Amino acid sequence: MAKRPSDAENLRQITAYHEAGHAVLALALGRPVDWVSIRPDRQFLGLCAFRKAIFRPSEDWLEREAIIALGGLAAEARFTGAYCWEGAGRDYDYVFDLAKSRAGNERQAERLVNRFLAKAEHLLARPAHWEAVEKFVEELLRMEEISGRAARHLFRVERKKR
């Protein structure tokens, strides 16, 4: 009989999916990743740190940042089968503020957040992107932290397979 994971092990795995979702979507959308960690501290269970984004006049930076921020929630939900809005509260608040700055009122902002979430889910549903998430999770559970260089390497390897 297989051993069931403890609550702490389960939370660690969910956190790994969350942070991997941020990292993979950042790389997919051209935002450099500095490092990804599931080492908890007083504020966070995990963290995905980014380098300064390269601005291209033709891109919608607000949409890109919102999709990356919701990538953690989307990856976690794909793994668990449910959204954990409470756990992704900071991500949601950030995206809602971005959406409100564009939409003008709360109702329109909520619809815009839902559209960004649908785009994040669509990107994660691509086989190469989901495989990259799985590889990131495997590495995070093994090492607890991935450097930006290792993240870029893992992402490129999965994209080349497809």
Task: For each of the domains in the chain, give its residue range(s) and CATH number, in order of start.
Answer: 7-161 (1.20.58.760)
Number of CB atoms found within 10 A of residue 90's CB: 12
pLDDT at 55: 66
pLDDT at 1: 47
- pTM of the predicted protein model: 0.90
| Tens-digit pLDDT profile for residues 100-159 | 999 989 999 999 999 999 999 999 999 999 999 999 999 999 999 999 999 999 999 988
Identify the bridge partners of residue 49 per DSSP, sorted by sequence position: 35
| Tens-digit pLDDT profile for residues 52-95 | 766 666 678 999 999 999 999 999 999 999 998 888 889 999 99
Q: Which residue type is seen at 105? A: N
Cα four-point dihedral sign 59, 60, 65, 67: negative
- Axis-axis angle for helices 148-161, 7-28 (nearest 10): 80
